[in-house]
Amino acid sequence: MPRPRSQTHERMVARALPRFWRHGYGATSIDDLVRATGASRHALYQEFGDKRGLFLACLDHYRDAVVTPAFGQVEQPGADLEAIAAFLEYQIARSERAGLPGLGCLFANTMTELAPHDPEIAARVRAHNRRLATGFARVLRREALGGGLSRRASEQLGEALAAGVQGLWSVSRVTADAQTLRQHAAALLQFAASGLPDRDGAPRRRRSVTSPRRFSG
């Protein structure tokens, strides 16, 4: 049975996360983490084994503390396209407040830096991407009038939308213009809506979705 996490463990993870998120894994040294956490090298190694162990803990903390508060609204029963719009705006507004160009998504960043070379980290990234795609697919299938969207079609559309969203967060790392991000988000919403059939089974040519800007906060 794994030992319960101590307050010290949680504090180290919370303080190390911004360093990894901003600079990436490769550009973060143990000395950087010592300074960021205020813990000794011995304490870090004792608690996490090595830098990679601490990074894995940061990925899990990011999932719980950053992803879930934002994406949870998409996973609620009855969530619709407006919930997806709200999720996108929640993240864009967060980046805007923190200052653009931003940090992007830690999972999206990790997908290119570490996942190709580390099976365990790749598994975490895949689980995150699968969570996004599944949440989107459920909303899209619910939105399909008359049940005209098959499970497989909704899954494919959800996977495509998840890939687009990860690309959006990567763009947020290189642009200082939040309006550009909102325009991209609106295009993603329109893409998702265009894949939904009407009652007669034909693809919808247009589907009105609230602009992500409405959900700034």
**What are 145-160's pLDDT values in tens digits?**
656 788 899 999 999 9
Give the SS3 label for residue 184.
helix
Joined tokens for residue 130: 């699968």
Joined tokens for residue 101: 């160009």
Measured distance CA(84)–CA(192) in Å, rounded:
10
Measured distance CA(173)–CA(44) in Å, rounded:
29
pLDDT at residue 214, rounded to an integer = 47
| Number of Cβ atoms within 10 Å of the Cβ of 131 | 18
pLDDT at residue 42, rounded to an integer = 96
Measured distance CA(84)–CA(208) in Å, rounded:
13
**Which residue in this structure is represented by tokens 């559309």?**
157
pLDDT at residue 211, rounded to an integer = 52
Measured distance CA(88)–CA(83) in Å, rounded:
9
According to DSSP, residue 206 is labeled -
Amino acid in the structure at residue 165: V
Residues of the chain with pLDDT under 50: 1-4, 199-209, 214-217
Measured distance CA(217)–CA(69) in Å, rounded:
14
The full set of domains in the chain, from first to last, is 1-58 (1.10.10.60), 72-210 (1.10.357)
Q: How many CA atoms are closer than 13 Å to the CA of 43, on its beta-carbon side?
A: 14
Joined tokens for residue 32: 């950087």
Q: Which residues neighbour 89 within 8 Å (Cβ) at sequence distance 6 or greater? A: 182, 185, 212, 213, 214, 215, 216, 217
Largest pairwise CA distance in the chain: 66
Residue 78 backbone class (left: φ over 0; alpha: ψ -120 to 50; beta: rest): left
Q: What share of the chain is helix, strand, coil (3-state, %, to 5)?
A: 70, 0, 30
Joined tokens for residue 94: 């967060």
